[in-house]
Chain A
Amino acid sequence: MIVGSANIETLAEDAATIESFGTSEIVFEDVVCFQMTMEMRNQAREAVLPKGLHPTVPATLSMQAWEISRSPFGEFKMVVCRIGCRSGVRARGYSTRVYTNSQIAATALKQQFGFSAQLAEIDFRHSFDGTDVKVIFESRVIFEAACLDPEPMNNSDVQYTGTLNLAHTPNGLRLVQLEAHHVASQVERLSSRLLNFDSEAWGNSLLDPYTVVSASLAYETVTFPPVRFVCKPDELAFSGTEAV
Chain B
Amino acid sequence: MKFGIFFELSTPRPLTRRNEWQVYHNGLEQCRLADELGFDHVWAVEHHFLEEYSHCSSPEVFLSAVAAQTRRIRIGHGAVVCVPEMNHPVRVAERAAALDIISNGRLEVGTARSSTWTELGGFQVNPDDTKKTWDEFCRVLPKMWTQEEFEWQGKGFSMPSRNVLPKPYQNPHPPMWVTVTTPGTELDAADRGLGCLGVSAAGYEEQERRTKEYHRRIQLCDPVGGVINDQVHTMNFLYCDEDYRKARDIGVPMVNAFNVANTHLYWTREAYPTRAYQTLGNAGAGMKAKKTAVDDPSLAKGLPEGVGVGDPEHLINTIKKWEEIGVTGINFLLNAMEMVPQEQVLASMKLFAKEVMPRFRSKEDLAAPVYTPTSLPAFVGAEK
Contacts and interface: CB of A to CB of B under 8 A. Distances in A.
Find the residue from B117, B266, B269, B282 having the highest chain A CB count within 10 A: B266
Contacts of B261: 1
A88 B278 CA distance: 22
B274 A57 contact: no
Contact of B280 (A2, A37, A91): A91
Nearest to B121: A213
Interface string A170-190: 000000000000000001010
Given A37-B272, A89-B259, A60 B13 contact: no
Interface of B: 13, 49-53, 117-118, 121, 256-257, 259-267, 269-275, 278, 280, 282, 284-285, 337
Contact of B260 (A54, A60, A157): A54
Interface string A155-172: 011110100000000000
Contact of B274 (A55, A86, A89, A157): A157
Contacts, number: 85
Given A1-B13, A39-B121, A213-B121, A57 B264 contact: yes
Contacts of B53: 57
Find the residue from B117, B256, B261, B337 having the highest chain A CB count within 10 A: B117
B128 to A, nearest CB: 10
Interface string A52-94: 0011111010000000000000000000000010101111000
Contacts of A89: 259-260, 262-263, 282, 284-285
Given A2-B13, A158-B273, A213-B272, A60 B259 contact: no
A154 interface: yes
Nearest to A42: B51
Given A57-B264, A216-B273, 18 more contacts: A1-B257, A1-B337, A2-B52, A39-B121, A57-B53, A57-B265, A57-B266, A58-B118, A89-B260, A90-B263, A91-B263, A91-B285, A153-B274, A154-B275, A159-B267, A159-B273, A213-B117, A238-B256
B263 A54 contact: yes
Contact of B273 (A161, A214, A238): A214
Majority-rule SS of A interface residues: strand
A90 B285 contact: yes
A98 to B, nearest CB: 21
Nearest to B122: A58
B270 A159 contact: yes
Contacts of B264: 1-2, 54-57, 86
A147 to B, nearest CB: 13
Contacts of A60: 266, 271
B118 to A, nearest CB: 6
B273 A58 contact: no
Contacts of A2: 13, 51-52, 264
Contact of A91 (B51, B259, B267): B267
A160 B84 CA distance: 29
17 contacts: A1-B260, A1-B261, A37-B271, A55-B264, A56-B266, A57-B50, A57-B53, A60-B266, A84-B270, A86-B264, A88-B263, A89-B259, A89-B285, A91-B270, A154-B275, A159-B280, A216-B273
Contacts of A57: 49-51, 53, 118, 264-266
Interface residues of A, number: 29
Contacts of B266: 56-58, 60, 84
A54 B13 CA distance: 14
A187 B273 contact: yes
Nearest to B116: A57
B319 to A, nearest CB: 26
A213 B271 CA distance: 7
Nearest to B283: A89
A68 to B, nearest CB: 21
Contacts of A37: 270-272
Interface in A1-33: 1-2
A114 to B, nearest CB: 23
A39 B121 CA distance: 10
A162 to B, nearest CB: 12
A46 B263 CA distance: 16
B271 A157 contact: no
Contact of A159 (B121, B259, B262, B269): B269
Contacts of B285: 89-91
Contacts of A56: 264-266
B273 A189 contact: yes
A239 to B, nearest CB: 11
Contacts of B52: 1-2
Contacts of A91: 263, 267, 270, 280, 282, 285
Contacts of A88: 260, 263
Nearest to B271: A213
A214 B267 contact: no
Contacts of B278: 156
A56 B51 CA distance: 10
Nearest to A238: B256
A56 B337 CA distance: 17
Interface in A193-227: 213-214, 216
Contacts of A161: 270
B254 to A, nearest CB: 13
A214 B265 contact: no
A157 B270 contact: no
B287 to A, nearest CB: 8
B284 to A, nearest CB: 4
Contacts of A156: 278
